[in-house]
């Protein structure tokens, strides 16, 4: 029997690959009985923060990874493309309908059973895939640590989502950064507005997060207030850069969060500001003076294991029939998590069938990513980028 712990992006992909190959698989998902600090629903493959799966451009590493995954028959990406909403060169999805379809396909699959329960330890029998993600429940993570040793974590944050009806459309314009599209809402700021906003942001009250001060932040997902604290112009060269949008001092961009265009998230505004402070400070952005935040930004510790010490190159725990997939392996990002789910799902099938396990070439994005996270001691979470791509030697 095959078990997948966690019905997130990686678990959904792995389970589907196994079921489609003709094997019975049980997904153990703890939501809604035990919720994580970042999920809001009981749906499979919930997108916990941004609804963007990043670029589809083949000159972009994430675009290349998506192309490879589509060629390999990724189920989750296939559904994502069916639920795409306008997002310029990015694959942006309606998060609700996307997760609804994944849930419904998995639920109705004759070879998949979904059991709603928290798994706190892995039995010795059967084949198990641990795909419990960055918010793995404490009890299971403790079991992993006590069984295998090692492990690490870093902090990650979620950006707020705004009710579009509460945006003052007279102060904003629609436009994409590098093309003629009109997918994003842009809130331009003059110098005075920017400096006032910057000052309020750096002085705003933040929620205390245990061990946050160790600065275990992932550099690509810095909270906006941390970027602001690093220098008065840092935001203008980061998420508020006006380049490609016009001759402005700074621009805050909002990305569509659903098909209907009734919800927008503030791009790059991951935060650990206290909720009343989010209302107060983000309403200083032109056009957002009366904005209603329907989902506040939050901060969360992401846990991951060290595959270099704990697993082989197939994410299989040394000496056990336990595999790891998703962000818990030390990859970072939605598409990267889907990629490891696909990799592990396919290899579990091969293992059952007595076939040699499959590695992807290191001159592919998926192969380079897996090679990097399985072979790097003292791993820091890694996402698809051309820096890790290698030529075959
Ligand atoms: C705060 C935050 C913001 C992020 N923002 C982005 C972003 O904007 N863009 C991006 O590309 N990536 C982002 N990420 C990374 C993204 O979450 C992950 O890359 C992706 O969701 C991980 O997929 P996964 O399948 O590994 O885990 P998940 O999608 O989290 O799925 C894991 C599942 O396991 C379940 N589970 C946990 N423990 C147990 C247990 N013991 N028993 C049973 N079930 C269990 C959980 O309920 C969950 O459903 C963010 C992560 C965090 C934490």
In the structure encoding, which two tokens stand for residue 386, read together?
């051309």
Give, for ligand 1, the residue of 103, 147, 302, 334 to mutate: max count of ligand atoms closer than 8 Å to Cβ: 334
Q: How far is the CA of 66 from the centre of ligand 1 (A)?
A: 19
Pocket of ligand 1 (CB under 6 A): 5-11, 28-31, 36, 38-39, 48-50, 118-119, 131-137, 140, 156-158, 300, 302, 326-328, 333-334, 337
Contact of 302 with 154, CB cutoff 8 Å: yes
**Which homologous superfamily does the CATH classification assign to the domain defined by 2-153+303-388?**
FAD/NAD(P)-binding domain (3.50.50.60)
| Ligand 1 atom at minimum distance from 141 CA | 41
User: What burial class does residue 149 get, using C-beta atoms within 10 Å of its C-beta: 0-12 exposed, 13-18 middle, 19+ buried?
Assistant: exposed
Contact partners, residue 174, CB within 8 Å, separation at least 6: 182, 183, 184, 185, 186
E-strand ranges in 97-160 read: 112-116, 127-130, 152-157
CA atoms of 278 and 274, how far apart (whole Å): 6
Q: What is the pLDDT of residue 350?
A: 98
Q: How far is the CA of 53 from the centre of ligand 1 (A)?
A: 14
Q: How far is the CA of 29 from the centre of ligand 1 (A)?
A: 12
Q: Give 3-state DSSP helix, strand, coil % of the chain, rounded to 5.
A: 35, 20, 45
Q: Domain ranges in the chain?
A: 2-153+303-388, 161-297
Contact of 159 with 297, CB cutoff 8 Å: yes
Which of the four CATH numbers 2.30.30, 2.40.30, 1.10.10, 2.40.128 does domain 161-297 have? Answer: 2.40.30
Contact of 290 with 304, CB cutoff 8 Å: no
CA atoms of 151 and 330, how far apart (whole Å): 10
Helices (H), 231-329: 275-282, 307-310
- No. of H helices and E strands in the chain? 11, 16
Q: In the chain, which residues have pLDDT < 50?
A: none
CA atoms of 291 and 167, how far apart (whole Å): 5
Contact partners, residue 221, CB within 8 Å, separation at least 6: 156, 157, 270
Angle between helices 95-108 and 9-20 (to 10 degrees): 30
- The three-state secondary structure class of 292 is coil
Give, for ligand 1, the residue of 133, 139, 342, 381 to mutate: max count of ligand atoms closer than 8 Å to Cβ: 133
Q: How far is the CA of 50 from the centre of ligand 1 (A)?
A: 12
Q: Return the H-helix or E-strand segment holding 382.
A: none
Q: How far is the CA of 154 from the centre of ligand 1 (A)?
A: 13
Contact of 120 with 143, CB cutoff 8 Å: yes
DSSP label at residue 243: T
In degrees and rounded to multiples of 5, residue 246 shows phi and psi of 135, 180
Pairing mode of beta strands 25-29, 90-93: unpaired
| Unique residue bearing structure tokens 């945006």 | 167
Q: What is the pLDDT of residue 165?
A: 93
Q: What is the pLDDT of residue 213?
A: 55
CA atoms of 54 and 73, how far apart (whole Å): 19
CA atoms of 122 and 145, how far apart (whole Å): 12
Q: Name residue 263's beta-bridge partners.
A: 163
| Unique residue bearing structure tokens 């935060």 | 271
């Amino acid at each position: 029997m095959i078990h997948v712990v966690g019905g997130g992006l990686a678990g959904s992909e792995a389970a589907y690959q196994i079921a489609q190959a003709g094997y019975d698989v049980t997904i153990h998902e703890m939501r809604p009985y035990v919720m994580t600090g970042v999920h809001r629903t009981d749906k499979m493959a919930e997108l916990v923060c941004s609804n963007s799966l990043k670029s589809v451009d083949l000159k972009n590493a994430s675009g290349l990874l998506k192309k490879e995954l589509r060629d390999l028959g990724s189920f989750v990406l296939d559904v994502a493309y069916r639920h795409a909403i306008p997002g310029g060169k990015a694959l942006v999805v309606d998060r609700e309908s996307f997760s609804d379809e994944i849930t419904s396909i998995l639920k109705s699959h004759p070879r998949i059973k979904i059991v709603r329960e928290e798994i706190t330890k892995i039995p010795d029998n059967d084949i198990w895939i641990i795909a419990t993600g960055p918010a793995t429940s404490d009890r299971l993570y403790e079991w992993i640590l006590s069984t295998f040793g090692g492990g690490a974590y870093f902090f990650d944050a979620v950006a707020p989502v705004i009710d579009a009806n509460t945006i003052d459309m007279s102060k904003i314009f629609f436009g994409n950064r590098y093309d003629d599209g009109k997918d994003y809402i842009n809130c331009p700021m003059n110098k005075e507005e920017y400096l006032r906003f910057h000052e309020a942001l750096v002085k705003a009250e933040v929620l205390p997060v245990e061990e946050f001060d160790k600065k275990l932040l992932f550099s690509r997902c810095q909270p906006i207030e941390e970027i602001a604290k690093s220098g008065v112009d840092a935001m203008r060269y980061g998420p508020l850069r006006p380049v490609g949008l016009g001759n402005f001092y700074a621009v805050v961009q909002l990305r569509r969060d659903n098909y209907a265009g009734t919800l927008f998230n503030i791009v790059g505004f991951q935060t650990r500001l206290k909720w009343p402070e989010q209302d107060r400070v983000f309403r200083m952005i032109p056009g957002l003076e009366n904005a209603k935040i329907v989902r506040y930004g939050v901060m969360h510790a992401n846990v991951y294991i060290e595959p270099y010490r704990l697993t082989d190159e197939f994410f299989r725990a040394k000496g056990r029939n336990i595999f790891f997939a998703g962000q818990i392996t030390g990859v970072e990002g939605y598409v990267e998590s889907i990629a490891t789910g696909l990799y592990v799902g396919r290899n579990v099938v091969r293992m059952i069938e007595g076939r040699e396990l499959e590695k992807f070439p290191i001159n592919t994005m998926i192969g380079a990513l897996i090679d990097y996270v399985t072979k790097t001691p003292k791993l820091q979470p890694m996402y698809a980028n051309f820096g890790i791509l290698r030529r075959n030697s």
